[in-house]
C-alpha cells in the first residue's frame, strides 16, 4: 500500500516538473518574439509615412522640393526643414501701400496662391503695408507687434520709391540692414528677400535707384526678386495701363506683380 502511494506521488512530481519546465521554456521564447514585432513596427519607411501624413502641407517632401526649386538654396532649406519638422513656415510681407490691402493687391494674391499650393496650415502669412519712408519704418518698427515675432521669411519692398527725393540710396540701404537686424534678434535664421516697388512711367532717377538696390542685395548676399521684367518698359505707354493716377498698381498691375512673385515662390 505504501509503495503505491509513493509511486503516485512520484508520478505527480514528475508531471509537475514537466509542466513547469514547459511553461518556463515558452516564457523564455515568448520575449524575443515580442521584441521582433517591435523592431518591425519601427521600420524607417513607416516613420517616414507617419511624418508625411501628419505634416500641415498636403504635398509630399518631393513635391515641396520641386515647388521651391526657383528659390535661393537658403530659402529652400527653410521650407524643407519646416516640412520635415512638421512646423509651419512663417512669412511676413512688408512694403509700401503699393502692396494693397489684406483683401486685394499683390500681397493678397500671392498669399492666396501660396496657401493654395503649400497648404494654409503650412504657410502662415502676414501682410504689413506701411505708409511712410524707410526712416519712418525703422523708427517705428520696434514698437510694432511684428518686431517680436520669429518669422522664417520676410519679403521686403524697402520703400525705395517713397524714399525717392527724400533720402539718399545709401541711407535707404542702411535702413534695410536695420530692419534685417531687428528680425534677426528674434530669429537669427530669418531669411530676408528684397524686391523693388512697382515701375513708374517716364522716371529718370528712380530706375537707377532700383538698379542700386539690386547691386546692394548682391553685394550683401541678400536674395533679390526682380519683378520688373514682367512689366512693360518704363518708357512704354503701355505701362500706364497697369498703374492708377498716383502711379500705384491698379488691378492689372497687382496681378502682374503677384504673378511674377508666384513664379518665384512656386516652380511649375
Gap between the Cα atoms of 101 and 131, Å rounded? 12
Q: Which is it for strands 123-129 and 153-156: parallel, antiparallel or unpaired?
A: unpaired
- CA 192 from chain centre, in angstroms, equals 12
Q: Is 204 exposed, middle or buried (0-12, 13-18, 19+ CB in 10 A)?
A: exposed
Distance CA 153, CA 89 (A): 8
CB atoms within 10 A of CB 206: 18
pLDDT of residue 55: 64
Residues 56-265: name the CATH superfamily. SGNH hydrolase (3.40.50.1110)
Low-confidence stretches of the chain (pLDDT < 70) are 1-55
Torsion on CA atoms 190, 183, 217, 74, rounded to nearest 10:
0
User: Distance of CA 208 to CAs 79, 130, 156, 212, 262, Å?
Assistant: 33, 23, 19, 6, 25
Which set of grid coordinates corresponds to residue 122? Answer: 503650412
Under 8 Å between Cβ of 253 and 223: no
Identify the three-state secondary structure at position 168: coil
> CA 131, CA 141: separation in Å to the nearest integer?
13
Q: What is the DSSP letter of 38?
A: H
- SS3 state at 249: strand
Tell me how far apart the alpha carbons of residues 33 and 244 are, in angstroms, rounded to a whole number.
75
Q: What pTM was estimated for this model as a whole?
A: 0.80
Cβ burial 31-70 (10 Å sphere, 16+ → b, else e): eeeeeeeeeeeeeeeeeeeeeeeebbbebeeeebeebbee
Q: Domain segments of the chain: what residues?
A: 56-265
For position 30, what pLDDT does the model report? 37
**pLDDT value at position 54?**
56
Residues 102, 227, 133, CA angle at the centre, nearest 5°?
Answer: 60
List pLDDT tens digits, range 177-218.
999 999 999 999 999 999 999 999 999 999 999 999 999 999
Find where cell 513708374 sits: 200
Residue 158 phi, psi (nearest 5):
-85, 40
Amino acid at each position: 500500500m505504501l509503495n503505491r502511494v509513493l509511486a503516485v506521488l512520484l508520478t505527480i512530481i514528475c508531471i509537475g516538473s514537466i509542466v513547469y519546465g514547459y511553461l518556463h521554456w515558452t516564457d523564455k521564447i515568448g520575449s524575443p518574439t515580442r521584441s521582433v514585432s517591435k523592431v518591425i513596427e519601427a521600420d524607417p519607411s513607416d516613420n517616414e509615412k507617419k511624418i508625411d501624413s501628419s505634416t500641415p502641407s498636403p504635398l509630399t517632401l518631393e513635391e515641396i522640393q520641386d515647388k521651391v526649386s526657383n528659390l535661393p538654396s537658403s530659402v529652400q532649406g527653410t521650407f524643407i526643414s519646416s516640412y520635415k519638422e512638421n512646423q509651419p513656415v512663417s512669412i511676413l510681407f512688408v512694403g509700401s501701400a503699393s502692396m494693397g490691402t489684406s483683401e486685394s493687391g499683390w500681397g493678397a494674391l500671392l498669399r492666396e496662391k501660396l496657401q493654395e499650393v503649400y497648404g494654409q496650415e503650412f504657410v502662415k502669412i502676414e501682410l504689413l503695408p506701411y505708409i511712410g519712408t524707410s526712416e519712418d519704418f525703422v523708427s517705428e518698427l520696434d514698437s510694432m507687434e511684428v518686431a517680436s515675432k520669429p518669422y522664417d521669411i520676410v519679403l521686403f519692398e524697402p520703400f525705395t520709391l517713397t524714399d525717392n527725393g527724400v533720402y539718399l540710396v545709401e541711407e535707404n540701404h542702411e535702413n534695410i540692414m536695420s530692419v534685417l537686424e531687428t528680425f534677426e534678434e528674434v530669429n537669427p535664421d530669418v531669411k530676408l528677400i528684397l524686391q523693388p516697388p512697382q515701375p513708374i512711367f517716364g522716371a529718370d532717377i528712380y530706375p537707377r535707384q532700383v538698379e542700386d538696390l539690386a547691386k546692394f542685395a548682391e553685394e550683401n548676399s541678400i536674395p533679390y526678386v526682380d519683378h520688373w521684367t514682367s512689366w512693360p518698359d518704363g518708357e512704354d505707354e503701355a505701362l500706364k495701363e497697369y498703374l492708377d493716377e498716383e502711379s500705384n498698381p491698379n488691378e492689372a498691375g497687382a496681378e502682374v506683380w503677384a504673378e511674377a512673385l508666384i513664379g518665384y515662390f512656386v516652380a511649375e
